[in-house]
Each structure stands twice: as structure tokens, then as C-alpha cells.
Amino acid sequence: MPRRLEIAKAYERALFAGRMDEVGGYFTDDVVYWVAGRPPLGGEWRGRDAVIDAFTSRAFGLGAADWGYEDVWRDWYEADERVIVEIRERSWLKSAPSDVLDQRTCVVIHFRGDRICEMRDYTDTQPYEAFLERHRSELPKFAAG
């Protein structure tokens, strides 16, 4: 497996396991993470600490909650100075397991040497917006607002 593809997959494994110190080790100091859509669903975070904080607090998307999750598929590709991953996953609030958020996205991970310097997350925010309308009071990120 090519080196950048190995790094991208190792980064994702560390992220899903919550090993944020390891995640930070895959980034350049000036890493940029951009998620399609305007805040609070999307936005941009600059610098290792800001990106780690965004992942830890789930600053993008629908935020932290008691989620169920299913990984449907991931297709990985390597190109010049980047790795691309197409993702389909499903999630649901454990309080509403029959209302499944079917998520599809494409993430472009740019490298500088063997470190991730930029990630662009092209998530379709429309399903998130519709889910938010149905479950606003159950999502801590939005319940207070």
C-alpha cells in the first residue's frame, strides 16, 4: 500500500479510537480542516490545536450526542500529494433508532511530505439540516440555541 494511503488510514483509525495525541501527530502545525456548509454544520479550522479541538468537541456536523453508527462503505484512492476517500455511513440518535441519517461524503486529504496539511470534507449538508429539524431538542449542540 502506498505510504500516504497508509498514513491516511492510520489517521482515521486513531481518530475513530479517540487517540487525539496520535491524530495530531499526523498533521502539520498549520493544518486546515474545511467542512462544506456554513457554521454550525460546516466551517474551517486552522492549526493543529484548532483541528484537534474541533474533532474532540465535534464542532462540525450535528455535534456530540448519544449516536448509533454503521460504516456502510469507504473507497480510498491515492493521487498526487493527496488521498481521497468516498464514504457512506449511517447514524442515528439512540433515542430515535428508526430515524437514520444516511450520510455520503468525499474527503480530500492533502499532504506535505508525510503529514496531512489540509482536509476538505465535502459532506452533503441537506440530510443534516433535515435531521436537525426533526431532532433539534435532542442534540446538545442546538438544544440551548
- Residue 55: pLDDT over 90: yes
pLDDT of res. 30 = 98
**How many structural domains compose the chain?**
1
pLDDT of res. 64 = 86
- Residue 138: pLDDT over 70: yes
Distance CA(19)–CA(26), nearest Å, equals 11
pLDDT of res. 133 = 94
- Strand, coil or helix: what is 113? coil
Distances (CA, A) of 129 to 48, 65, 132: 28, 16, 5
pTM above 0.85, yes or no: yes
Q: What is the DSSP letter of 77?
A: E
Query: pLDDT (tens digit, 9 = 90+) per residue, 63-96?
Result: 888 999 999 999 999 998 999 999 999 999 999 9
Q: Which grid cell sits at 82?
A: 493527496
* Residue 75 structural domain: 3-143
CATH number of the domain within which 83 lies: 3.10.450.50
